[in-house]
Structure 1
């Protein structure tokens, strides 16, 4: 495999941005597990609501991730990425002001929609600038 040192500074920055953004988006989805005891204490959701609070963000990710990649191709990656960051941010704000479990489920779903819109674009963005030609018989970067 090629080495990071074979990439230009711009290519390295794009690769680091992709990894950082993807990690941040998914940590935003999964960090709710740490807050569940406080949510239980403050909002008092029943067992079913707790399950939905935990899983509500993952449903839009699994449902819309493929569609959002195509949407980025049609409408423009930048527009869709900005829309995704808006959805994610609105979901974060709504999550913090949630008065009850049902509202929190909706806020988490909004957050998940933001992630679903962003992740395919973030993962695909470096492919335009990273070399896809073989280097010593191997690819420097090749998405799965």
Structure 2
């Protein structure tokens, strides 16, 4: 699967998610100096944690990227712990939901905390995490199909 991943902040889990999805396109973390992201038809996935500070950075990243014309296929919200998503974070994610194709919540997986990023695909994932990955792949497949349909019409 080919998708471009961009973290909304440092430590979002972008590299781990890139390994789980099998994509080499990990752009690291968003900064306000990020002017334009070119994905060359690949879906753009933003990755964030579900904490209140991370959600504030997410609003900043979505606003900056949307203003530059980037089409955000999916916002992947990775659980920061086994507890519930903080109310402040949930409110902020609702603020950006109309500017991203879909929001997918990836559950907390303790085993990923202990694995090297390159070995993340060797961690046994619970069903909820497998379902979240399947949903992300579904978004990517739909976005890829739409991009190739548009490209075909332009030619």
TM-score, normalised to structure 1's length? 0.29
State which structure, 1 or 2, has the greater radius of gyration over its C-alpha atoms: 1
Q: Please state which structure has a larger fraction of its residues in helix.
A: 1
TM-score, normalised to structure 2's length? 0.28
Q: Please state which structure has a larger fraction of its residues in strand.
A: 2
